[in-house]
Structure 1
Amino acid sequence: MTSNNQDKVILITGTSQGIGEGIAKHYLKQGWTVIGVNRNPEKTPKLEGNIITVKADQSSLTDFHDVVKELKTKHNITQIDIVVANAATAGSGALLTKASPTEFDYVYQVNTRGPLVLYQATRPLLKDNGTFVVISSLAGSLQRTFFWEHIGSYGASKAAVNYLTRTIHYEEPTLKAFTIHPGVVDTKGARKSWDDVGKPPIEPETVDDVIPGIVKLIDTSTKEETSGWMWNNDGSKADF
């Protein structure tokens, strides 16, 4: 920990497990204030460090705005350096011929509209030279070299959020906005999805495998080189 990090603030959605928890642990060890946003805060593991846990459902139109009000009034948060939109849902994995339109809408509410509402709600606190990151997926890439038939709704939602994030990059003069494909990662949520539809055609990595690459991308990002694109966890540029 360095003294310079004591005033640094990062907000992360979905810190109760998996990638979000891994990112939170990293920044807590660096001395940052971490705001963990979760649908069920009571299920969030206790993490060591300066962590603020707040409740929000990513499918809500109002929860993130309520979170910002709470951060200002209850926790005296006046600025945020980094926002990471990590929380997501895979949906049922149904083939598109059988996909429920209601479920399709829900996947979009969480994976696409959710990050947009998060950006809009946190933007007044986010530093002008800060960073807005979405944990996305190559499932949303039209140029990906693999095909998995069970990711129709999920992939479409990720393609849309990739576009939204790239648009934020162009609309913002100095704010960095980009997406990260963390890889196929073995998490509790992923395993639940695989139980329903089978494992993906790519060997999964562990959370510990991918976190170093993710945080390096965030920490070394620049407006000129990083912003506006999707990146693999090894630091290479991913195809849209």
Structure 2
Amino acid sequence: MDTSNSTLVILITGTSKGIGLALAEHYLKLGHVVYGCSRSEAAIDHDAYYHFALDVSDEKQVKSLFSAIRKQHKGLDVLINNAGVAAMNHAMLTPMDTVEKIFNVNVFASFLFCREAVKLMRKRPSGRIVNFSTVAVSFSLAGEAIYAASKSAVETLTRVLAKEFAEFNVTVNAIGPTPVQTDLIRNVPDDKIEQLLSQQSIKRLGEFADVINVTDFYIQPSSDFITGQVMYLGGA
């Protein structure tokens, strides 16, 4: 898997905006084929970009997406599970429909995409899966019990799948970003953001380039001996 000299088939979830959009544009600029998905229509107009408007937790819709990848490109090289939702609220004030939504998107969808992705990756010499966690896990932030719990589940999923998928030469790793200026933190009070940043070693918001850098590292050919790892940004 050579990210600079060969064309990869890359699937990124949540590509309508934010980190997912930045990742998609980055890999398109490098000459790769990118499949993206979100609830909304495509935000990218590019000959090598294929977009699917779907619910990432809907098994039927997701299977249809992977079927399209198999028919058109015969396999998949990279999956980036970027799609996610968050809610910041005291546990006593958190309704069950919020809990279900967060786990559906953050945990169940991540598992579903990993499961279907490895079926296509095993047709290739190797594969890469990158999941998304958060520094809220390591900081045990008050007000983020459900969000942090869902991402803790993603980390456990990452470590277990790394062992299960190793026989197919597929690595599974995760990134734990610090807050990045996206819609995910738009409604978080400034004092809460400052409180979080004060706990980091490097006290600034994350940038798209920080996330792209780690993603590039995970999927490069020389990272084939790295799996089951979670890399937190900012010195969490």
Residue 32, structure 1, aligned to residue 25, structure 2: no
Three-state SS of the structure 2 residue aligned to 1:80 is coil
Q: How many residues align?
A: 223
User: How far apart in 2 are the matches of 1:215 and 1:3?
Assistant: 10
User: How far apart in 1 are the matches of 2:233 and 2:45?
Assistant: 24
Give the aligned partner of residue 213 of structure 2: 212
Three-state SS of the structure 2 residue aligned to 1:59 is coil
Residues 232 and 217 (structure 1 numbering): CA distance in 2 closer, same or farther, change over 3 Å? Answer: farther
CA contact (8 A) 1:5 1:30 kept: no
Equivalent residue letter for 1:162: E
Residue 54, structure 1, aligned to residue 48, structure 2: no
Instruction: State which of 99, 102, 109 in structure 1 corresponds to 2:97.
Output: 102
User: How far apart in 1 are the matches of 2:171 and 2:146?
Assistant: 27
* TM-fit CA distance, 1:196: 10
Give the aligned partner of residue 66 of structure 2: 68
Which 4+ stretches in 1 moved above 6 angstroms?
Answer: none
Residues 97 and 205 (structure 1 numbering): CA distance in 2 closer, same or farther, change over 3 Å? Answer: same
Residue 179, structure 1, aligned to residue 174, structure 2: yes
Which structure 2 residues correspond to residues 73-222 of structure 1 after superposition, within 5 A? 73=71, 76-91=72-87, 93-126=88-121, 127=124, 129-140=126-137, 144=138, 146-172=139-165, 173=167, 174-191=169-186, 193-194=187-188, 198-199=192-193, 201-202=196-197, 203-219=204-220, 222=223
Equivalent residue letter for 2:160: T
Three-state SS of the structure 2 residue aligned to 1:125 is helix
* TM-fit CA distance, 1:25: 1.3
Three-state SS of the structure 2 residue aligned to 1:21 is helix
* Percent identity (aligned): 27
- Deviates further, 16-25 or 151-160: 16-25
In structure 1, the gaps of 5 or more residues are: none
- Deviates further, 81-90 or 213-222: 213-222
Three-state SS of the structure 1 residue aligned to 2:102 is helix
Three-state SS of the structure 2 residue aligned to 1:124 is helix
Residue 23, structure 1, aligned to residue 34, structure 2: no
User: How far apart in 2 are the matches of 1:87 and 1:28?
Assistant: 19
Equivalent residue letter for 1:213: V
* TM-fit CA distance, 1:12: 0.3
* TM-fit CA distance, 1:181: 1.2
Equivalent residue letter for 1:115: S
In structure 2, the gaps of 5 or more residues are: 198-203
Deviations 1:90-143 (A, max 9, x none): 03x221122112211221111011110111222221235201110211222xxx
Residues 98 and 128 (structure 1 numbering): CA distance in 2 closer, same or farther, change over 3 Å? Answer: farther
User: How far apart in 1 are the matches of 2:162 and 2:18?
Assistant: 27
User: How far apart in 1 are the matches of 2:156 and 2:99?
Assistant: 18
Residues 56 and 94 (structure 1 numbering): CA distance in 2 closer, same or farther, change over 3 Å? Answer: same
Three-state SS of the structure 1 residue aligned to 2:220 is helix
- Deviates further, 20-29 or 158-167: 20-29
Superposition TM-score, scaled by structure 1 size: 0.83
